[in-house]
Structure 1
Amino acid sequence: MITPVLSEALRWWYAGESVALATVTATTGSAPRPPGSVMLVAPDGTATGSVSAGCVEAAVYQLCRRVLDTGEANLSRFGDTDEVFGPGLTCGGEVEVYVERVDRAAVAEFDQLCAQVRGGSPVAAVTCVTGPAVSRGRWLLVDDGAGVRGTLGDAGIDAVAARAGRELLAAGRTGLVRPVPGVSLLVRSFVPPPRMIIFGASDFTAALARQGRFLGYRVTVCDARSVFTTAQRFPDAAEVVVDWPHRYLGTEVDAGRVDHRTVLCVLTHDPKFDVPLLRLALDLPVAYLGAMGSRRSTDDRVAQLRAVGVPATALARLSAPIGLDIGARTPEETAVSVAAEIIAAGAGRPGGRLTIGTGSIHPTSHTAAATLGRSAGGEPQREEEVHPVLEPAQVPAGQLLDPVDPVPQGVDVHM
């Protein structure tokens, strides 16, 4: 599925116009948006996307307008500031943003990138941020096989860029990496949305399918009862399948369509479906596995799974009863409970109330994969000798932001 930012960029690209693209390359501390977050500024001044929670948006917007005018890319860091009108992160974090101009001349392969993303094929776009003059600003497209499109202008840099691109693409990560001295590369990974497979065809399923789609999952609903399992009942599902749950899951596993990002939610609430399905699912390295039921039915289900040989270590991976304890009763409330537990599990958080917790609200750092994007201390690696235009620099308060008119009047901003 193509994103609004890519769609807007492609529209201007086909029109022969230039846009400015701002990409978050790394964050530290309590930064609001992860690497890969993007904002586009079009030649008519409209903005699409977001790189923060709003605290540096106007400053990045002005930086994008500057890059549109000059064509010179820029890599800047925005950090904490005590200035009322300063373009900093009031949350105490730090965000690094790379801004470049994108058009037919700069990125001849942009339409090919969008075609791959629209078709659901994994692809990484690798941009040379610092390095030889012939390479700076050029793009290379790398897929998850052996395919490479475009060039960074140097065969050696192309080779290391392809390796870096595939490594981050395999992890589904975006970040600024330094594979060899003197060269830094921005790797943007575009992967198909993760799957959420919901077993059972009830009102709870319909509510959870809506939540799953909202969170960016490709939702599949599966149930063996054809009278209940219809596309009309589950309009938010990409697929509605009539089949025995364990048989369908086995088919998807054999076809390679279940991976470490997949979420499995068992809402069938019937032992004849639950037990054979969970017996198979508990052997899979999926992101999350939960099953609906009361505490009594959960205990009965666990006893049946133990009776068919499922070990305690596997049962410990099962979230049952499914969801966080928020007092949910309706299908919609239950869907929020389940979605919250899925998010918490993915972040390694317990899911408690922030108001009674301590420590960082967000993960303490968002960078590229460990072997490519981190130094020993956990900070994003940065170029020691860089082209002056691209030198990472702390943006002082007031340098980019006019407090009287932070966004020009009449400009349409789409977040």
Structure 2
Amino acid sequence: MFEQLLTTALHEIEASRPVLLVSVARATGSTPRKEGAMMLAGTQRLLCGTIGGGLLEHRCLSLAAVQPAHGHLEHFELDNRKAGSLGMVCGGSTEVLFTPLTDFAPLRAALTALQNRSPAWLCLPLDGSAPHIAQDSTLPPRPTVLSLHGKDSLCVPLTDAGRVFVIGGGHVSHELCALLHRLDFRHIVIDDRVDFCSPTRFPHAEHTLTVPLNELAETLNGTLYPTEADAFCIMTRGHEGDADAVRYALSTSASYIGLMGSRRKRETLFYTLAQEGFSDAAQRRIVTPIGLEIGAQTPAEIAVSIAAQLIKWRAAR
């Protein structure tokens, strides 16, 4: 999302066209989107992103078209029982920030931080003045209004600290990684087959690593070492690869370990782990079958079920 917003904004500025970043700064009660939701508005239309659609988004686009250079914070009631309401029945209220974008520098800095995967926050003063980039690791991991440099600002993290380690580059992984990219999940793909693990096959992966699956520790125990913020999606082509990947995942503090496979395959693996001394508590860390139960059959459907479970995991985290 952020990369598209930033590149589109830079393109509009280069073309000398007015462009506004419209962001949800605060949200109370039931609202279409929460803090940090963004869209980019031109004088004629929505350019990209969304703050939830419907009447709220329509009104904000109208305001942006009329006052493309006016930075300000606007309050909206979304309860049709209250005076001044937009007529929506959500029941909550929201504050939307309008930020005119005219300066290349902060947008390019944000894009560089995104591409380098370095921790950075897009900070938007609530008075509608120019944004700036902060790289202060003490800032919160979720969009939050804070006082910075004497101004209340909406601080939005540009990158999620968590990563998804996709072990196995088969059909489901191929479908899943396309979804992970659309859903702003950083992901790394690992397989022991060159044909199934390459930047061409997985163009949006941070890394595609072709290594024997029994050498995951040697490969990842460094700058790529998984942390509690990370997830594993294990879907190799066979029992041995699954076992190697699960053993490694259990040696890390990853907070999600999903395993794809049949009931018999799972039972065989769990028996092997028990024989090797893995505790019941360790085995309970494994989510299997992977994905939400939606009756998925095809690789694309299974990928949807896994992506949905990862969204749930990320929201809880």
Compute the TM-score of the two structures, normalised by the length of structure 2. 0.84
Q: Are the counterparts in 1 of residues 291 and 302 from structure 2 also a CA contact under 8 Å?
A: yes
* Equivalent residue, structure 1, for 2:143: 174
Asked whether 1:143 is paired with 2:111, we answer no
In 1, Cα distance between the equivalents of 2:66 and 2:217? Answer: 52
CA displacement, residues 212-248 of structure 1 (integer Å, 9 cap, x when unaligned): 2332234433222345545565566554322123423
Decide which of 110, 120, 125 is 1:123's aligned counterpart: 120
Q: Which runs of 4+ in 1 moved over 6 A?
A: none
Deviation at 1:312, TM superposition (A): 2.1
Letter matched to residue 153 of structure 2: L
Q: Are the counterparts in 2 of residues 55 and 90 from structure 1 also a CA contact under 8 Å?
A: no
Q: Secondary structure at the match of 1:35?
A: coil
* Equivalent residue, structure 1, for 2:102: 103
* Equivalent residue, structure 2, for 1:40: 40
Q: Secondary structure at the match of 2:126?
A: strand
Bigger Rg, which one: 1
* Equivalent residue, structure 2, for 1:215: 183
In 2, Cα distance between the equivalents of 1:139 and 1:93? Answer: 27
Cα 1:45–1:200 shift into 2, 3 Å = closer
Q: How does 1:381-400 map to 2 (within 5 A)?
A: none
Q: Secondary structure at the match of 2:139?
A: helix
Asked whether 1:322 is paired with 2:290, we answer yes
CA displacement, residues 370-390 of structure 1 (integer Å, 9 cap, x when unaligned): xxxxxxxxxxxxxxxxxxxxx
Cα 1:11–1:193 shift into 2, 3 Å = farther
Deviation at 1:178, TM superposition (A): 4.5
Structure 1: segments with no counterpart, 5+ residues = 131-135, 146-165, 350-415
Letter matched to residue 287 of structure 2: S
Q: Are the counterparts in 1 of residues 181 and 204 from structure 2 also a CA contact under 8 Å?
A: yes
* Equivalent residue, structure 1, for 2:174: 206
Compute the TM-score of the two structures, normalised by the length of structure 1. 0.66
Q: How does 1:1-400 map to 2 (within 5 A)?
A: 2-43=2-43, 45-69=45-69, 71-81=70-80, 87-104=86-103, 109-129=106-126, 137-144=129-136, 166-168=138-140, 171=141, 173-178=142-147, 183-191=151-159, 194-226=162-194, 228-229=196-197, 237=205, 239-248=207-216, 250-256=218-224, 258-268=226-236, 270-348=238-316
In 1, Cα distance between the equivalents of 2:195 and 2:124? Answer: 51
CA displacement, residues 235-281 of structure 1 (integer Å, 9 cap, x when unaligned): 66554322123423553242145344433111125343222321221
Deviation at 1:36, TM superposition (A): 1.4
Q: Are the counterparts in 2 of residues 264 and 290 from structure 1 also a CA contact under 8 Å?
A: yes
CA RMSD of aligned residues (A): 3.2
Cα 1:315–1:190 shift into 2, 3 Å = same
Deviation at 1:195, TM superposition (A): 3.0
Q: Are the counterparts in 2 of residues 55 and 89 from structure 1 also a CA contact under 8 Å?
A: yes
Q: Are the counterparts in 1 of residues 45 and 61 from structure 2 also a CA contact under 8 Å?
A: no
In 2, Cα distance between the equivalents of 1:207 and 1:72? Answer: 41
Q: Secondary structure at the match of 2:51?
A: coil
Aligned length: 316
